[in-house]
Amino acid sequence: MKSQKKDNDLRLIRNWVKNGVRPTWQEVSRYGTTIKGYWAQWSSLCLRDGLLHRKWESPDGVSAVYQLVLPKARIHQVLEELHNSPSGGHFGVTRTLARVRDRFYWVNCRRDVEEWDWDKLVPLFLLSYRSSQHESTTYTPSMLTSGREMKLPTDLILGRPLEENQERSLPEFVENLRERLNRIHRFASEKLKMHSDKMKQRLDTTSTEIAFKPGDAVWLYAPKRTKGKSPKLQSNWEGPYTIIKKINDLVYRIQLSPRSKPKVVHLERLARYTGHNPPDWFVVEDPPPRTEDSVIRDE
């Protein structure tokens, strides 16, 4: 309770949910991404014992689980503890590693599977990743973590820079390293913010508001890969499905037929169905009238 009241974003969201009045997008647009994210999940937010919770429904809608909403500072602390734990170290590179593995390994394994095993290629990939300059920060991971670039084979041929050949005392070396890391991290943070603002501006200019209502027919993006067939000749969409319920602005429950199992999917995986003979087996029921008892209040 105290941690939610101390967090400015959660305190504002709790007041909105307590009053049962959802603000308009024009009122929310001036806030940051955290407020906008909670605003999009408005239908899933509720108060339980005075605390803000997020409701997770099962695909069939029979059961539900309530998750306590943690402040942003507490989430960062949990992620840091997970990252520093032996079982969760380096989980941030997993997605990049998997993507490079799928592309790089497939090209080389066609030569000789026994010679080009992926576990033998991991050190080469990590060397390339840590010494490559990132577009968003303009620095390499090696420079951001250790304050210096990695020594590559070309450095053995060209020799070390002149400033590295100067002899320095240990206190002087530590002080120079501290100043260099502070300068690099400050500049990288500014570049990341500029990169994030540019991506947000590009997304705002190209994105359009998409919303479905119960009974609408939609396609579901579910790519499948069949061995022996070209991915270009396979369909990445399934359906048409029918919108059963709008859980919140981002999550919907869909169903293919009356006998099939429902699915809970994100809005980004859905596309409107505009073909002939849309499914008409689902009957949309009128929502119950809203009463004062239906509004969740903080007691």
Query: Residue 245 pairs with which residues in a beta bridge?
Result: 253
The sign of the torsion formed by the CA atoms of 264, 247, 60, 287 equals negative
What tokens were used for 19? Answer: 């009053």
CA distance linking residue 243 with residue 214, whole number of Å:
5
CA distance linking residue 214 with residue 286, whole number of Å:
11
What tokens were used for 183? Answer: 């300068």
Tell me which residue of 244, 257, 238 sits closest to 216, measured CA to CA. Answer: 244
**151-205: pLDDT as tens digits:** 888 777 777 666 666 677 888 888 888 898 899 989 988 888 888 888 877 766 6
- The SS3 assignment for 71 reads coil
**111-137: pLDDT as tens digits:** 444 455 666 767 777 788 888 888 888
Judge contact between 157 and 151, C-beta under 8 A: no
User: Which class in CATH covers the domain with range 217-272?
Assistant: mainly beta
Secondary structure letter of residue 232 according to DSSP: G
**Residue 174: its H or E element:** helix 170-206
What was the pLDDT predicted at 96? 65
Query: Residue 54 pairs with which residues in a beta bridge?
Result: 45, 67
**Residue 144: its H or E element:** helix 141-146
What tokens were used for 40? Answer: 């999009």
Spans of the chain, pLDDT less than 70: 1-2, 72-119, 121, 160-166, 203-209, 286-299
CA distance linking residue 213 with residue 260, whole number of Å:
20
Q: Record the pTM.
A: 0.53
Percent helix, strand, coil in the chain (nearest 5)?
Answer: 45, 15, 40
What was the pLDDT predicted at 296? 42
Provide the pairing of β-strand 237-246 with 45-48.
unpaired
What was the pLDDT predicted at 86? 47
Provide the pairing of β-strand 217-221 with 64-68.
unpaired
User: Taking the domains of the chain in order of start, what are their residue ranges?
Assistant: 2-78, 89-206, 217-272
Judge contact between 56 and 67, C-beta under 8 A: yes
